[in-house]
Chains A and B, each alone.
Chain A
Amino acid sequence: MRRKSGVQRSKIETTFRYLLLSFVAFTALVPAYIMFSGSFKSQGEFLNSPFGLPNSLNFGGYQSAWTDNFPHWLTNSFLIVIGAVVLTEILAALAAWGFARFPFKGRETILGIMVSLMVVPPVVLLIPLFQLGVELTLISTLRLVILIYVGLMLPFSIYMLTNFFKSIPESILESASIDGASSWRTFRSIVLPLSGAPLATLAVVNLLWAWNELLLALVFLQNNEKKTLMVGITGFQSRYSLDIPTVMAGMSIATLPLVIAYLFGQRFFIAGLTAGSTKGE
């Protein structure tokens, strides 16, 4: 009812609002359209009419992209994302329970400092971690990248879950401990089952970040067979500079999993991405 303001909004204003929104929505969508439609075009068609619909569906671009290293890259991306997201979820849930449930001196400060770690530029961490990776011969292994991703995702994840665990009514938890449940059992059989939505939200946010990460993957995965999709397509572009439809097909493949996830889990995306902001008191 709030939006039904008593003031009669003039028609002009409404029209103007829709014009603005349509223009912005168009601008937001058109690059994705150019990419996707371009992936079916021929090189000449793409250059001459980037906005038109493809004359015929030409799957050559997808074929070239797929017979390149795409299957490898896609597999690596999946493995890294799944490994890093699952590990982060477990470690963050444990730590967040520790922060939320057990008061100790300096708790707020420690959590505050940890949250601020989100701000540290990854490039600062890059050099020492790379040197260490060389020493331990872990360059071009998925393990090291997963570990680094987990480290980078943990601060936000712990923060978000702590917020949620704090919101679980004390009475539910107290009753469990009266019943003699250990804190581990309380956590497993009461807290976790209540946390489905926040855990899913967190998974989506982390998945988005890990899937899209370029800098670390670029440095740590040098062997072509071990590259992630993002590293792969970055080099892909220059190798196929004379065959834009293939480039666009590659980009479409790299985007598709995300767009599907977005369409189905939009509410988790939105919940997760707004979770970090300060809530009004």
Chain B
Amino acid sequence: MKLASSKSVAADVNIRQRPTLAGRSSREALFWIAPAALVILFIFGYSVVSVLIQSFRYDGDWVGFENFAIVITDPLFLTALKHNGLLLLAVPVLIVLAFTLAITLFETRAGMRFYRSAIFLPYVLPIPVVAVVFGQIYQLHGALNIFLKSIGLDSLAKDWLGDPQIALGTMSSVIIWKEVGFGVILMLAHIISLPNETYEAARIDGAGFWRTHLSITRPAILNTIIFYGVIEAITMVSWVFNYVYVMSNGLGGPGNATMVSELYIYRSAFQNKAPELAAAAAVFLFIATLVLMIAFFRIQRRSIAGTFNR
């Protein structure tokens, strides 16, 4: 139709490059962007400003930094922060696992699609479901211990979620189980898109599996690896609520073994009815994530600039 008939015109339009009218252009942009911007401003802008204001008040009065002082000296909040910190240790594990699986899948022809689907499936499952099912598997008389005993490893059978020494580790194993598939998919997609010549030299040199991938694949997909690492670091700091809430029945137990900052904020606000303290804790968490946000911003900015200049 119209599209086809005007194709020929398009060619010389490109040469002439119509001048852009900056003023009119930004007014038009505003018209398109405004509806979404209003929603985003309401959800993010309003909330962040309110939470900031509230963190300095108590019962309607201005109390300066008092809420912050109470929260930062609360051993429970410090424990929660420490646990978020410990969960960050799962990030390098995730990176190594995902990279290993991605290059293994890359080298595999027969059955590659099946393995890829299987490995990616956990990432699609709802966290509450995953947490409930693993809650059963990790019971003292649950599936994992039955399995360990059946292969003669009785000594490894533990009270996975009941022992405060290991409960957080158990929790992180569930997170790793669910998140690793995402990394595999990200890295595999990037490896497949690399140009054929990438592996030419290695092939001629006769380099082995690990040498090839550590010295060629790893640097070639480094930005994807970093991206994945940042995403997972964000997950460990600000998205673990669902796992913890479901697996510990909302308590962060046993004891406080799986208390994390999100749960601390949730409980301060809705169970202890202390929204001001929750707000102060939320501000601390927000500041902690700012560091991650800046890292994320820098990565994305580079690719955004690439988008607009291509």
Contacts and interface: CB of A to CB of B under 8 A. Distances in A.
A136 interface: no
A104 B285 contact: no
B129 A175 contact: no
Contacts of B207: 7
Nearest to B292: A119
Given A20-B104, A280-B193, A99 B33 contact: yes
B47 A128 contact: yes
A13 B266 CA distance: 49
Interface string B271-290: 00001001100110110010
Contacts of A107: 29, 308
Nearest to B283: A124
Interface in A185-235: 190, 208, 211-212, 214-215, 218-219, 230, 233-234
A7 B207 CA distance: 8
A31 B127 CA distance: 13
Interface stretch (A55-63, A64-72, A255-263): A255-263
A176 interface: yes
A78 interface: no
A214 B246 contact: yes
B174 to A, nearest CB: 9
Chain B interface helix/strand/loop/mixed: helix
Given A208-B124, A255-B129, A34 B108 contact: no
B54 to A, nearest CB: 7
Given A98-B30, A121-B262, A280-B220, A176 B25 contact: no
B58 interface: no
Find the residue from A32, A234, A266 having the highest chain B CB count within 10 A: A234
B209 A9 contact: yes
A214 B123 CA distance: 16
Given A121-B286, A128-B50, A151 B249 contact: no
B186 A274 contact: yes
Interface residues of B, number: 131
Contact of A31 (B130, B189, B237, B300): B130
A28 B43 contact: no
Contact of B129 (A99, A104, A121, A251): A251
Contacts of A183: 28
A242 interface: no
A95 B36 contact: yes
B86 interface: no
B165 interface: no
B32 A123 contact: no
Contacts of B72: none
Contact of A270 (B106, B185, B234, B302): B185
A102 interface: yes
Contacts of A208: 124
Chain A interface helix/strand/loop/mixed: helix
Interface stretch (B60-68, B87-95, B151-159, B221-229): B221-229
A5 interface: yes
Interface in B62-89: none
A114 B40 contact: yes
Contacts of A2: 196, 199
Interface of A: 1-3, 5-7, 9, 13, 17-18, 20-22, 24-25, 27-29, 31-32, 34-35, 38, 47, 49-51, 91-92, 94-95, 97-99, 101-105, 107-109, 111-132, 147-148, 150-152, 154-155, 158-159, 162-163, 166-167, 170-172, 174-176, 178-179, 183, 190, 208, 211-212, 214-215, 218-219, 230, 233-234, 237-238, 244, 247-248, 251, 254-255, 258-259, 262, 266, 269-270, 273-274, 276-281
Given A124-B282, A130-B269, 14 more contacts: A5-B203, A6-B204, A51-B143, A108-B308, A119-B234, A121-B238, A123-B282, A126-B269, A127-B50, A147-B43, A175-B10, A254-B128, A279-B193, A280-B224
Name the 3 nearest CB pairs between A and B, nearest first. A151-B43, A98-B32, A121-B238
Interface of B: 2-3, 6-7, 9-11, 13-14, 18, 20, 22, 25-26, 28-33, 35-37, 39-40, 42-44, 46-48, 50-51, 54, 100-101, 104-109, 111, 114-115, 117-130, 132-137, 141-143, 146-147, 177, 181-182, 185-186, 189-190, 193-194, 196, 199, 203-204, 206-209, 220-221, 223-224, 227-228, 234, 237-239, 241-242, 245-246, 249, 262, 265-266, 269-270, 275, 278-279, 282-283, 285-286, 289, 292-294, 296-297, 299-308, 310
